Amino acid sequence: MKHFFKRLAALAAVLLIVAAVAAPRLGAWLVVEGPLQKADAIFVLGGTMFERPLEAVDLYHEGWAPRLLLMRQIADFGEEELEKRGVTFQREIDVQVDVITKLGVPRAAIEILPPQNSTRDEADALLTAAVNNHWARVIVVTSKQHTRRAQLVIERRLAGTGSQVIMRASRYDRADVDGWWRHRSTLRFTLFESQRLIAYWLGIAD
């Protein structure tokens, strides 16, 4: 029994050393991007009002793909009540489309997909679009520290379809991934994404 606890203590010490060395690089490790290539569409994951859509607009104008796919955000109960009362209002997706068209993207080049609950659900939506349209390549835009998990989830869903995924972190995401522990928002996002990534690997989360 003594030998067991000694080995356990030694393993714990090694893990602590590894964690101490790796921790400063955790934020940057979560960021993955592939080299840009011409694609059939730019798929914008939901989660930000303008940060991700702006990246898609720039990629469109740079000629990387001829169409943008946006996710409609899930409506809250307040929006449902406004609809019941017959009140017209601008949803988040309406504001995004308005801004994108003002930035020079034709409305015909923008497709709006139904709201989804998770990255896996968004991957399913992309799978359907890619298969139905026979897309060979799609650029997926998201925030920096979401790229690694999003790539893992989406590539698994699209496996066997022949559709290539190119991850792209928004240039408008100002998160300091090299000093991720210095800012509360980046710290929280880094820890959240790390936990979700581990949970996904273990098969207990989307």
CATH code for the part of the protein at 30-174: 3.40.50.620
Q: Which one has a higher pLDDT value, 83 or 57?
A: 57
> Is-contact 136 105, C-beta < 8 A?
no
List of residues 6+ apart from 21 with CB closer than 8 A: none
Q: Quick one: pLDDT at residue 3?
A: 57
List pLDDT tens digits, range 120-150: 999 999 999 999 999 999 999 999 999 999 9
Q: Quick one: pLDDT at residue 23?
A: 74
For residue 110, which of 157, 71, 58 has the smallest C-alpha distance?
71
For residue 145, which of 203, 191, 204, 206 has the smallest C-alpha distance?
191
Assign 74 to helix, strand or coil.
coil
Paired residues of 112 in beta bridges: 70
Q: Which one has a higher pLDDT value, 112 or 21?
A: 112
Residue 197 — pLDDT band, cuts 50, 70, 90?
confident
